[in-house]
Amino acid sequence: MIDSNLGVESKVLQTALFEEARVGFGEVDRSIHQYNYELLFEEVYERVPTLTRFWKTLKRVASFKPDVINLPGYYEPAMVMVQMCCRLMGIKVILSIDSTESDNTNVWYREAIKKFIIQQADGFFCYGTLAADYMIKLGAKPKQILMRNNAVNNEVVRQIHDQTDIELLKKKYGIKTNKNFIYIGRLMEIKNVVRLLEAYQQLDPNECGLILIGEGEDKERILAFIAKHNLVNVYFISAQPWQEVPKFMALSSVLVLPSYSEPWGLVVNEAMACGKAVIVSNRCGCASDLVKHNENGFTFDPFNVNQLRNNMDYFLQNPAQTIKFGIESEKIIAGYHPKVVAREMLLGFAKVCTK
């Protein structure tokens, strides 16, 4: 598309509908794409062969002949090959990075490969401070970090939240408690939901409830834990499309994201846009940027059940502080907005093209 004010022409390529891990999350909501884009494959990403993804993407890039291209990180071989071809064609490359140093075990040869790929890039859009710090450790120059931000559409999320018929939704899902913690995400071991249940188990069941929303391979283990320990007021709800998530936020007071590893955690943005206090594992990429300890929430060691329990209990014992923390969340998240991100990206593209 062409921006008449800035004289910028851009093309967005979406390689596939979604990743394998998102199968079962419902139909893709294409209404959120309020821009021109081309979907290369009407398929799940992993089901398209690597070379097929590479060739089709490269052909589109070659026909468009951009001055600069934004590619997703270093984890996907097809896009790394596109990056190297762009370098040969004289096209500047900006990598979008959501990885942090604690995401996975850092094996030396993998780190060496990452360093090589990083050296071939001209700039980086980093989703947060931890991602930026990791890029610099891998060899990126500080001046190449063009963005340290990640965002959702705060206004739309909040509007859906505020328009929710809370009593109707509670009746539909049999939710009887008024003070609820909520977890929203995939049900995988790395998400640490069982430890969240262990922390919840130590709270007074008459004081609160726990809403779990998601699907994944860890679901049966989670259900077995709930049954074995006779946990009450735990409400299990299947995965929801993004536009339904704010409705369930309306049933809660505090979001908990207990992951062992999380590149960012956009659900925290959504919770804060809804005016919620947050409890976030210090292994989540967003923790150092979005969570102001004892102001809008708490960070914690995801391996420490007692620490998580204490953080949850704090909100049960201090309802006025829960409201205060939620108001602070709204203030903080105002700086993490799509318009801010878009502006930073545009300036990043300009910087790379003019250097």
Strands 68-72 and 254-257, sheet pairing: unpaired
Q: What's the rounded mean pLDDT across residues 20-38? A: 74
Query: What angle, rounded to 10 degrees, do the helices at 319-333 and 266-273 form?
Result: 110
Please check whether residue 128 is in contact with residue 286, taking contact to mean a CB–CB distance below 8 angstroms.
yes
Please check whether residue 75 is in contact with residue 103, taking contact to mean a CB–CB distance below 8 angstroms.
no
Between CA 192 and CA 165 the distance in angstroms is: 31
100 confidence band (pLDDT: 50, 70, 90): confident
Q: Which of 52, 41, 35 is nearest to 19 (CA)?
A: 41
Q: What's the whole-model pTM score?
A: 0.88
H or E element, residue 319: helix 319-333
Least confident of 3-7, 61-65, 97-101, 105-109: 3-7
Which tens digit of pLDDT belongs to each residue from 208-264?
A: 999 999 999 999 999 999 999 999 999 999 998 888 999 999 999 999 999 999 989
Domains for the chain: give ranges and CATH numbers.
2-150+337-354 (3.40.50.2000), 154-333 (3.40.50.2000)
Q: What's the rounded mean pLDDT across residues 165-173? A: 96
Q: Which of 36, 31, 28 is nearest to 12 (CA)?
A: 36
H or E element, residue 184: strand 180-184
User: Tell me, what's the pLDDT at 71?
Assistant: 96
Q: How many CB atoms lie within 10 A of CB 324?
A: 14
User: Tell me, what's the pLDDT at 5?
Assistant: 54
184 confidence band (pLDDT: 50, 70, 90): very high
Which tens digit of pLDDT belongs to each residue from 285-340?
A: 999 999 999 999 999 999 999 999 999 999 999 999 999 999 999 999 999 999 99
Which tens digit of pLDDT belongs to each residue from 266-278?
A: 999 999 999 999 9
- Eight-state DSSP code of residue 134: H
Q: State percent of the chain over pLDDT 70.
A: 96
Between CA 119 and CA 127 the distance in angstroms is: 19
User: Tell me, what's the pLDDT at 195?
Assistant: 97
- Read off the tokens for 155: 């206004």
Q: With 50 as the cut, is the pLDDT of residue 1 above it?
A: no
- Eight-state DSSP code of residue 103: S
Residue 30, Ramachandran bin (φ over 0: left; ψ between -120 and 50: alpha; else beta): alpha
Please check whether residue 230 is in contact with residue 190, taking contact to mean a CB–CB distance below 8 angstroms.
no
- Eight-state DSSP code of residue 276: -
Residue 44, Ramachandran bin (φ over 0: left; ψ between -120 and 50: alpha; else beta): beta
Q: What is the mean pLDDT of the chain?
A: 92
Q: With 60 as the cut, is the pLDDT of residue 137 above it?
A: yes
Between CA 301 and CA 349 the distance in angstroms is: 37
Which tens digit of pLDDT belongs to each residue from 295-306?
A: 999 999 999 999
What's the angle, vertex CA 220, arms to CA 263 and CA 306, rounded to 5?
Answer: 60
Between CA 209 and CA 216 the distance in angstroms is: 22
Give me the numbers of helices (H) and strands (E) for the chain, helices first please. 14, 14
User: Tell me, what's the pLDDT at 2?
Assistant: 38
Q: How many CB atoms lie within 10 A of CB 5?
A: 6
Between CA 213 and CA 92 the distance in angstroms is: 41
User: Tell me, what's the pLDDT at 81?
Assistant: 97
Q: What's the rounded mean pLDDT across residues 193-200? A: 98
Between CA 335 and CA 121 the distance in angstroms is: 27
Residue 182, strand partner residues: 211, 255
Q: What's the rounded mean pLDDT across residues 97-106? A: 80
* 3-class DSSP assignment, residue 186: coil
Convert 36-46 to b/e letters by CB count within 10 Å (16 or more is b).
Answer: eeeebbeeebe
